[in-house]
Amino acid sequence: MSSLNLKALNIRGLAHIAVVAGLAFGLSACFRPLHGPTASGESLQNVLASIDVPEVKWPDNQARIGHYLRSELIYALNGSGSDVPKRYDLKLSLAQGLTTPIVDSESGRALSATLTGNLTYTLTTADGKTVITQGTATSAATYDRFEQRFATLRAGRDAEIRLARELAQQVRTRLQAALVRS
């Protein structure tokens, strides 16, 4: 290749780098950091701590996972435990399912199970008049089922805790994204 062609390639390469850098710099002001202050200038952590997660009367088959879910949400939103005046209410509704995709052909016993959950949430102002955001978080947790009944029971509870933790983290992230803009 001649030196003239190398210079042309270098100039084109520098031009491409300049264009990409210019676009990146120009668009950098379009994004708001998730953990930065909100549009009002208040700390996002303080805004999250002002969300009340009220007790929910869960159906009997969802009482345990509902308890785990509420505890995980309270910790995710206000891990400091500080007493902050509540400005928002978080309403929750859970749809839960259990499937057993693997069954032993000899014994007819399920060897594993998948616990699925769809958590519908609505964040409103404390007076309930304005809806800030709403949505549905979905996740699943699998666990092995054993011949020992207690081991299977414990594995199922651990799966409920993992599912509750994952749903709570999804809701927290979505609430952060909604509140950083408001």
Sequence ranges of the domains in the chain: 1-31, 38-181
Q: Which CATH superfamily is domain 38-181 in?
A: Lipoprotein like domain (3.30.160.150)
11 pLDDT above the threshold of 80:
no
Pick left, alpha or beta for residue 128 (phi over 0 → left; psi -120 to 50 → alpha; otherwise beta).
left
More confident residue, 88 or 44: 88
**Model pLDDT, residue 80:** 79
Strand order in the sheet with 131-144: 51-52, 88-99, 112-125, 131-144
8 pLDDT above the threshold of 90:
no
More confident residue, 36 or 48: 48
**Model pLDDT, residue 5:** 56
Per-residue pLDDT band for 108 (boundaries 50, 70, 90) equals confident
**Mean of the per-residue pLDDT values of the chain:** 85
In the numeric block, which tokens belong to residue 71? 């505890």
162 pLDDT above the threshold of 70:
yes
Highest mean pLDDT, choosing among 19-23, 87-91, 125-129: 87-91
2 pLDDT above the threshold of 70:
no
**Model pLDDT, residue 65:** 95
